[in-house]
Chain A
Amino acid sequence: MPRVLNAKDKDLRAVSAEIKGMISESKVIIENATHLHGLCGGLKGGDITIEGNSGDYLGVLNDGALIRVRGHAGKYLADNMTRGTVLVEGDADYGAAQYCYGGTVVIRGNAGDFTATMNKGATILIGGDVGDEAATYMLSGDVIIVGNAGSNLGNYLLRGNIYLGGEAASLGHNCKLEDLNDEDVQKLLGYFKKYEIAADAKRFRKISPISSKPFYSKEKK
């Protein structure tokens, strides 16, 4: 049976201590946690569900935990995550899944501006639309956007893939739009099946980097 932690009127330190004491023994459900920012930071394991909405920086530095949000997530969801999974049933505010080295972030609703900025290896799946400047200076990993994207998508993309189901207001520098190959389609089908996303993989297009050296250093000709 999951244990329930009511976070009402408690501060981050107190709730963190309780979480760390519970996660090795059972799943944890946290209620009334909207006021807590940086909750579930740096956890190496555990299965945690946030009932309702979360505060900012939920799952920062996550290194192995499974974190679910039944409602909406605040700003900077799963910031700098290295391992684990973060699932959001609703929307995610500004700057979700930035600086992630690994793990998976699934946002079933929409995500805000600067989502997946400097992604360095995570898989980031947005079931709805994403705001402006998503996947800026991305260095590795996959970003899958089922809906539409705002302006400057993938600005200065260096490595990795952005899969786009809808339209982008504009692409950023160093980006090119391509059709999917079979391997891409199979990868997307796998993600959609695993996370129960209703989308047609064949309809997607891929955004890839033009060069891995778009700044001072240049490709050898």
Chain B
Amino acid sequence: MPVVGAFCVTVFRDRCINARMSGKCATCVEVCQYDVFAIDSEGQVAVQNFNACVGCRICAEFCPEDAIRINPAESEFLVRSPWTFPQVEEIHYKAQTGEYMLRGFGAMGFAPIFDHITVVPSQIASPAPRDKYREECKLEVVIGEDTCDHPIRLQYPLFFAAMSFGAVSREARMALAIGAAQTGIISNTGEGGLLKDETWLIKGYENEERTLKRWEPGGYLVVQWSTGRWGVSADYVRAGDAVEIKIGQGAKPGMGGHLLGVKVTEEIAAVRGIPVGSDALSPCRYYDVQDLEDMKRMVAFLRDVTDYKVPILFKLGPSRPYEDVKACVEAGADTISIDGLVGGTGCSPAVVTQGVGIPTVALIPPAVRALKDMGVHRKVKLFVLGGIRNGLDAFKAMAMGADGVGFGTAAEIAMGCRACMACHTGRCPYGITSQDPELRARLDPEEAGQRLANFIKATAEEIKILTMLSGHDDIKDLSEEELRALDLDTAAITGLKLVGYERRLPMWEQMEMARG
């Protein structure tokens, strides 16, 4: 197990029950999945290995006396960078084992993010603001309106990103379905096959017979078609409200899915057709696609097998957004989701997650330009993923030209995740990314589903506020004029007007003129 070493573990002994009474409590020893705490033969609890702490804070949550504090070793980052303690420990780990690091989550720290963009409200020189409290605002997004019999009508411009059964627990998959059902949005299977329960939960039913409708309005299930093709059959592709062709993802573009053997239980092994305990490593590319013509044929046969009823979506990793988006349109996509550098994962080589790909905020301008050049902007929908945290990020992405955004990491956090980045170990103490029955039992699908629904509704309200204070009553009317870049780098990356300068940078104006 890689040593992370980024946290200081403090136990206040004046509060700790065990410090006062040896042999008592020791809840921290019990709940910690990483052996940070130990109990000796005399029943005394001690911090035996603070380096192993991943910062999940389950010990602090379970401590009955509030005696534990987990704090990041921040000063290390400030005074020793780039030779921070985690960096030193990583080198030691490689030197000891000959292995590189794996981890969950996305790129941390350095990537440009939406925080360097500000929203411009309406005042006197632009259309007056709309009243959020007393006027309506349209948030609906329709996918596949002209291409299939059953288009998707999202109540909000939001969806839950693909998270496979395997990467996350059965309970987490059920929670995502329940959350989507309550908000009229999408839950995506990822590439781990389909749980039977999902098919009725997503429609808001609590029973297989679909006689007990509990959650309105009902959501949409997207089934993913990917390079490992785990659990995929004709029935599987027909079970979805859309089929998503995964080309790549933000956390590990150019690589396939990684599900380590520790999470390949009997149930997951049966779904995926892989030996129990064996790593399920999806291929980095489709063995059954060699060029764009093949991809067009893949789209054609998926439409045919699904009887031309459902939309076909594409998911891209962050590579060459302009060219890749154009290729997706040529292939026949109804929607393109593009996942940025900050996009998360259940497991990936750390160097890939941290250092490969284009930041989310920098993907949007070229992706939108590609759609406009092909005359399909707002027709072929563009969704953006990768580090989207709230309605503010979502609004900025949409004002830059996206039709909506997806939540992966934020959805996990809404379920209860504390971002410890150890999803790959299978020991998620909140039961979200674990397959251990004991840990999974800590996640109540209905409660987590409600939390997800609450998060989506609150986020949608944030989008509504920002849309209306910008003078609009429909998200389709948003434009780059609602935004300003706060610094030169962001203005250069995004083409947004720079605050103070109130114009786009000359290179963007020149490009615009050259394009006519």
Contacts and interface: CB of A to CB of B under 8 A. Distances in A.
Interface stretch (A114-122, A189-197, A198-206): A114-122
Interface of A: 12-13, 16, 37-38, 41-44, 56-57, 60-63, 75-76, 79-80, 82, 94-95, 98-99, 101, 114, 117-118, 120-121, 136-137, 139-140, 158-159, 212-213, 215-217
Contacts of A217: 260-262, 277-279
A137 B300 contact: no
Given A38-B304, A61-B305, A213-B279, A98 B234 contact: no
B297 A57 contact: yes
A216 B102 contact: yes
Given A42-B234, A63-B234, A217-B262, A158 B278 contact: yes
Interface string B261-288: 1100000000001110111010100011
Given A158-B274, A213-B277, A114 B304 contact: no
A41 B277 CA distance: 33
A103 to B, nearest CB: 11
Contact of B288 (A13, A79, A213): A79
The list of the 7 closest CB pairs from A to B, nearest first, reads A38-B301, A217-B261, A42-B234, A42-B305, A120-B273, A212-B275, A215-B279
B235 interface: yes
B105 to A, nearest CB: 18
A61 B288 contact: no
Interface residues of B, number: 32
A140 to B, nearest CB: 6
Given A75-B290, A117-B287, A118-B283, 14 more contacts: A13-B308, A38-B298, A38-B300, A41-B234, A41-B304, A41-B305, A42-B304, A61-B232, A76-B294, A158-B274, A158-B275, A159-B275, A213-B275, A215-B279
7 contacts: A38-B300, A42-B237, A118-B229, A140-B273, A213-B277, A217-B277, A217-B278
A80 B229 contact: yes
B360 to A, nearest CB: 28
For B228, B232, B237, B273, the residue with the greatest tally of chain A CB atoms inside 10 Å of its CB is B273
B418 interface: no
B238 interface: yes
B287 A216 contact: no
Interface string B65-105: 00000000000000000000000000000000000001000
Nearest to B288: A76
Given A158-B278, A212-B278, A60 B300 contact: no
Contact of A41 (B229, B281, B301): B301
A37 B297 contact: yes
Nearest to B306: A42
Contact of B273 (A63, A75, A101): A101
A62 B234 CA distance: 7
Contact of A121 (B102, B273, B298): B273
Contacts of B279: 213, 215-217
B233 interface: yes
Contacts of A114: 287
A120 B193 CA distance: 14
B232 A216 contact: no
A121 B233 CA distance: 13
Contacts of B229: 80, 99, 118
Nearest to B308: A13
Contacts of A98: 287-288
Contacts of B288: 57, 75-76, 79-80, 95, 98-99
Contacts of A42: 234, 237-238, 304-305
Interface string B345-376: 00000000000000000000000000000000
